[in-house]
Amino acid sequence: MASVRVQQLIKKYDQVVAVKGMDLSVEDGEFMVFLGPSGCGKTTTLRCIAGLELPDGGTIKIGEEEVTHKQPAERDIAFVFQSFSLYPHMTVRENLSFPLRAVKTAQSVIDERVMMAARMLHITDKLDRKPTQLSGGEQQRVTIGRAIVRRPQVFLMDEPLSALDAKLRTEMRAEIKKLQTDLGATTIYVTHDQLEAMSMGDRIAIMYGGLLQQAGTPMEVYDNPRNLFVAGFIGSPAMNFVPCTRSGDSLSLSPAEGAAAASLGLDSDGKGRFATTPTGDTSLVLGVRPEDVAFVEAGTPGSLPVRVEVVELLGSENIINVGLAGHIVKVRTTPTFRPTLGQTLHARINQSRSHLFNKQTELNIN
């Protein structure tokens, strides 16, 4: 296995600069997820690492070797695509054997590796079937098996589960994660699904606009998002954002049109956390996750009156949408909490877990 290092990667397609100077490292044996919205440059970066696209600038190293201008076959990587891309006229066994036959591997080695992959992927009883006789999940297992048999240094996977239904996708996520752990294989996995990224990645590289926004463990990016984009992209429901300014020991929440302003006094947690936040005119954005707001008794210090606007009953939890200075704030509660629409509640924000962002630079400043 090997590390992957991408430095100042640039890739253009005519007028479109798809990747604008990407820097990132994937450590030996690590499961790295590239996450970001459609068009952010995930696939292009992955294809450059695979050698399927030639970069316009920057370097790519796999292990100690610079591979920026090498052919895919010279890179010792295996690529798993979105579509299953199996040979329809071949059996599962023949499909799994194909990459090894192509490089003239001894039959005994082929048999051993095919069996090993089939066992890992639970398809030993499907080896003599054709792809059309398999379910979608089984076909994707064979595709992954074809990558495993080659024992490459690095696995590159581009949304390999996107063609599967939701239930199967959840099952396969766990399977791929376990497989990667068992193989100890350096893996880069592209997805636009943040749940997939959070549940599978040792680390997540969040991309937007052809640039890396932040790389870190799922908890690092969740708890300490570097900027407004990462904060809003990771987490479901998304982090609540309320524009504000700081005046002394309180935050003045800027009202939405037609609404009354509100002031949030900083408690000892907030004073500590936001100690270096500028006071005065600097436009800030308060970021609070839905689980970091609690409904409390009226008169509780630090609580603010809010009005219930929408109640979302989700079975395992409820999301209560309340109006705060005219902004909708989503609050995660237990499923038994069912306030009525229009009711006034009192909300207390957990300031030790909240964030302030500079509205201009969009950076997290605490």
Residues lying near ligand ATP in the complex (CB under 6 A) are found at: 13, 16, 18, 36, 38-44, 192
Q: In Å, what is the CA distance from 264 to each residue of 110, 142, 247, 322, 349?
A: 67, 56, 10, 16, 9
- What is the smallest separation between the CB atom of 26 and ligand ATP, expressed in angstroms? 17
SS3 190: strand
- What is the smallest separation between the CB atom of 261 and ligand ATP, expressed in angstroms? 39
Q: Among residues 43 and 139, whose Cβ is nearest to ligand ATP? A: 43
CB 325 within 8 A of CB 364: no
Q: CA-CA distance, 75 to 64, in Å (whole number)?
A: 12
Q: Among residues 46 and 286, whose Cβ is nearest to ligand ATP? A: 46
Q: In Å, what is the CA distance from 326 to each residue of 181, 281, 299, 348?
A: 48, 21, 21, 17
Q: Among residues 236 and 263, whose Cβ is nearest to ligand ATP? A: 236
Sequence-ordered list of residues with C-beta below 8 angstroms from that of 220, at least 6 positions apart, any chain: none
186-191/303-313 β-pairing = unpaired
| Largest interatomic CA distance in the chain | 78
SS3 143: helix
Q: Among residues 51 and 270, whose Cβ is nearest to ligand ATP? A: 51
- What is the smallest separation between the CB atom of 267 and ligand ATP, expressed in angstroms? 41
Q: Among residues 92 and 161, whose Cβ is nearest to ligand ATP? A: 161
- What is the smallest separation between the CB atom of 32 and ligand ATP, expressed in angstroms? 15
- What is the smallest separation between the CB atom of 217 and ligand ATP, expressed in angstroms? 21
- What is the smallest separation between the CB atom of 210 and ligand ATP, expressed in angstroms? 7
With both helix axes pointing from N to C terminus, report the angle between 136-148 and 166-183 in degrees, rounded to the nearest 10: 20
Q: Among residues 145 and 160, whose Cβ is nearest to ligand ATP? A: 160
- What is the smallest separation between the CB atom of 214 and ligand ATP, expressed in angstroms? 16
- What is the smallest separation between the CB atom of 205 and ligand ATP, expressed in angstroms? 12
Sequence-ordered list of residues with C-beta below 8 angstroms from that of 259, at least 6 positions apart, any chain: 323, 325, 326, 327
Q: Among residues 192 and 359, whose Cβ is nearest to ligand ATP? A: 192
Residue type, 4: V
Burial label, 48 (beta-carbon count in 10 A; 0-12, 13-18, 19+)? buried
Q: Among residues 4 and 96, whose Cβ is nearest to ligand ATP? A: 4
Q: CA-CA distance, 193 to 38, in Å (whole number)?
A: 10
Q: How many CB atoms lie within 10 A of CB 333?
A: 18
